[in-house]
């Protein structure tokens, strides 16, 4: 009986690790069971993804710029694992419109002044996404936040009016560094990233 149980467990483990077959835009692809839909898509083609960074931080699911259709339903590609037989459509009108709307909302928190920005070095996710999506205008106008640029630390600065509140820095702080220093004050009239629940980088009250 013990040998039978061990054999069944071994078979189950082998099956669970077998590549999964499904379709992306009508083309059959294969992925590991642990793969996110977004990871599988990015091996085939580029689609927008602002808040997703890597498996190290895991899905944040805050920006909605990676929306696709899976079996006819709009979903965040970064927040769903692949499954056998699923049909993923990245270029449907619904998916493209959802991604465009999500990114437009993001631009309400970020002024596109790329030609004079210090980060105009092809290393800016917002800039690169705007180029990839061919953004020429935005429906949600930029609204600056009533906070000064925080330059109280000699090594980095925080500009609230350029922060898109994607949560990447908070996620890295809490799950990678595990020091829980950063958070986002969503309860504020104008949400912003906080240090130690309300302190600026250099330890000054907000």
Domain range for residue 176? Answer: 144-206
Residue 149 lies in a domain: yes
Cβ neighbours, 10 Å, residue 68: 27
Residue 197 lies in a domain: yes
Q: What is the end-to-end Cα distance of the chain in Å, rounded?
A: 66
Residue 54 lies in a domain: no
**What's the structural domain count of the chain?**
1
Is the pTM above the cut of 0.85?
no
Residue 45 lies in a domain: no
Residue 121 lies in a domain: no
The confidence score (pLDDT) of residue 177 equals 82
Residue 184 lies in a domain: yes
User: Please, which residues have CB within 8 angstroms of residue 53's CB and are 6 or more apart in sequence?
Assistant: 60, 168, 171, 172
The neighbouring-strand residues paired with 15 are none
Residue 186 lies in a domain: yes
Which has more pLDDT, 92 or 180? Answer: 92
In the structure encoding, which two tokens stand for residue 124, read together? 């800016």
Cβ neighbours, 10 Å, residue 40: 21
Q: pLDDT digit string (tens) for 42-96?
A: 999 999 999 998 767 778 999 999 999 999 999 999 999 999 999 999 999 999 9
Q: pLDDT digit string (tens) for 109-158?
A: 888 777 777 777 778 889 889 888 988 888 888 888 899 999 888 887 89
Residue 22 lies in a domain: no
């Amino acid at each position: 009986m013990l040998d039978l149980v061990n054999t069944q467990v071994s078979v189950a483990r082998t099956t669970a690790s077998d590549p999964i077959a499904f379709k992306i835009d009508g083309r059959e692809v294969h992925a590991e069971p642990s793969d996110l839909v977004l990871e599988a898509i990015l091996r085939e083609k580029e689609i927008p993804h602002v808040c997703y960074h890597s498996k190290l931080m895991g899905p944040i699911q805050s920006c909605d710029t990676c929306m696709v259709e899976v079996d006819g339903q709009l979903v965040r590609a970064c927040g769903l694992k692949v499954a056998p037989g699923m049909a993923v459509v990245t270029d449907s009108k619904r998916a493209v419109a959802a991604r465009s709307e999500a990114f437009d909302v993001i631009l309400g928190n970020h002024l596109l002044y790329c030609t004079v920005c210090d980060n105009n070095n092809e290393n800016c996710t917002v800039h690169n996404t705007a180029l990839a999506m061919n953004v020429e205008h935005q429906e949600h106008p930029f609204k600056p936040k009533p906070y000064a640029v925080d330059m109280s630390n000699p090594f980095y600065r925080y500009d609230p009016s350029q922060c898109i509140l994607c949560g990447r820095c908070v996620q890295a702080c809490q799950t990678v560094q595990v020091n829980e220093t950063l958070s986002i004050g969503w309860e504020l009239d104008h949400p912003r990233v906080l240090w130690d629940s309300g302190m600026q980088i250099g330890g000054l009250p907000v």
